[in-house]
Amino acid sequence: MAMLDVSDLHVAFPRGKSEVEALRGVNLTLEKGERLGVVGESGAGKSMLAFAILNLIAEPGRVSQGRIEFHGENLLDLSERDIRGIRGNRISMIFQDPMVTLNPVLTIGTQMVETLKAHRRITDAQAHRLCVEKLKQVAIPSAESRLDAYPHELSGGLRQRVVIAIALLTDPEVIIADEPTTALDVTIQAEIMALILKLCRDNDVALILITHDLGVVAEVTERIMIMYAGLCVETGSTRGIIRAPRHPYTAGLLKALPQFAGRGARLYQIPGSMPPITALPTGCAYHPRCDRATAECRSRIPPLEHGHACFHPLDQTEAAS
């Protein structure tokens, strides 16, 4: 049994008298200490997946179908009180913008101690010691004195390090990181990503890394899930997918990576854009952008089989060329 097992997850939003779906039946498994990348363009449903796992889908949205089992227990059945024992405790989250997590009017120390005390019976002295230790783990210089700092007194990179330290405070089993470096200076993005990778490895923490950048997940994760218009369209080992993508969308994402384009060559861009959930095409949602699409693709949604949801997948040799 996988540690985290999401099956047939649907997230719906009301629209007029009916509903539209941001997730249309997504499956995901995560083993202890495993690192999974969730990749796709804007609007694919990546954040919805993260929010759903943490029971954070805001009204009027709702999980309309599916199961989210963590150690065999369906999180969707838990009361708000019980879910709080899991969210921010056994499953932590790192968001794109550190200021979503950090409260601007409280010192770093106060916020860290509050987080700890919400989940642990612990004395002030023990909490203080643990906070300093975690700040050191994320390589924050003069950790002790930073406890008295307010978030605005730190650079964006340091703030995200504090968020990572907070995520680690409760020794979680899973960290869900949603575009954790996108809001940061390009120069420090790689540093923060390397830090997340190291900390997950050192502490045997599983990671769900959400990003639109296939290049980043290639370096950090062991398994990949490619999302398109509320569905997983391809999944498998990172190595296998990078070497030989089967779904044309995955192949397009790969071709758009700078490391795949020749020097000085113009970067490839997949034509068109992701459809909004209010106007999904019939059949495979990717068909209007796909040069392999046939009548079948326009009429039926391809099931996810053998790791890809495509009626006309690239074959192994084609994909590798």
Ligand X SMILES: Nc1ncnc2c1ncn2[C@@H]1O[C@H](COP(=O)(O)OP(=O)(O)OP(=O)(O)O)[C@@H](O)[C@H]1O
Task: Report the interface residues with ligand X, using CB under 6 A.
Answer: 13, 22, 40, 42-48, 61, 212, 276-277
Angle, CA 196 vertex, CA 192 and CA 198 arms, to 5°: 115
- Our CB check for ligand X shows the closer of 45 and 302 to be 45
Residue 183's CB is within 10 A of a number of other CB atoms, namely 16
Which residues are CB-contacts of 235 (< 8 A; sequence separation ≥ 6)? 223, 224, 225, 226, 241, 304, 307, 308
In contact, 20 and 8? CB cutoff 8 Å: no
- Our CB check for ligand X shows the closer of 26 and 290 to be 26
For residue 166, the Cα-to-chain-centroid distance in whole angstroms is: 18
In contact, 229 and 273? CB cutoff 8 Å: no
43 binds, among ligand X, Mg ion, none (CB under 5 to 8 A by kind): ligand X
Please report, as residue ranges, which positions from 216 to 245 form the binding site for Mg ion (by CB under 5 A).
Answer: none
Residues listed for the chain: 321
22 binds, among ligand X, Mg ion, none (CB under 5 to 8 A by kind): ligand X
Site stretch for Mg ion (CB under 5 A), options 7-15, 44-52, 106-114, 152-160: 44-52
Task: Report which DSSP code applies to 169.
Answer: T
- Our CB check for ligand X shows the closer of 4 and 48 to be 48
Least gap, CB of 22 to ligand X (angstroms): 3
Tell which one of 34, 47, 111, 253 touches Mg ion (CB under 5 A). 47
Distances (CA, A) of 205 to 39, 90, 123, 197, 308: 20, 10, 26, 10, 27
For residue 321, the Cα-to-chain-centroid distance in whole angstroms is: 29
- Our CB check for ligand X shows the closer of 44 and 297 to be 44
48 binds, among ligand X, Mg ion, none (CB under 5 to 8 A by kind): ligand X
- Our CB check for Mg ion shows the closer of 47 and 181 to be 47
Left (φ > 0), alpha (ψ -120 to 50) or beta: where does 107 sit? Answer: beta
User: Is the previous residue joined to 172 through a cis bond, with omega within 30 degrees of 0?
Assistant: no
277 binds, among ligand X, Mg ion, none (CB under 5 to 8 A by kind): ligand X
The one-letter amino acid code at 33 reads G
Least gap, CB of 46 to ligand X (angstroms): 3
61 binds, among Mg ion, ligand X, none (CB under 5 to 8 A by kind): ligand X
Angle, CA 96 vertex, CA 126 and CA 211 arms, to 5°: 120
Least gap, CB of 179 to ligand X (angstroms): 6
Least gap, CB of 81 to ligand X (angstroms): 25
Residue 269, phi then psi, degrees to nearest 5: -130, 130
Instruction: Give the pair of three-digit tokens for residue 85.
Output: 């024992």
- Our CB check for Mg ion shows the closer of 7 and 96 to be 96
Least gap, CB of 142 to ligand X (angstroms): 34
Least gap, CB of 32 to ligand X (angstroms): 26
Least gap, CB of 249 to Mg ion (angstroms): 17
Applying CB under 5 A, the residues found at the interface with Mg ion are 47
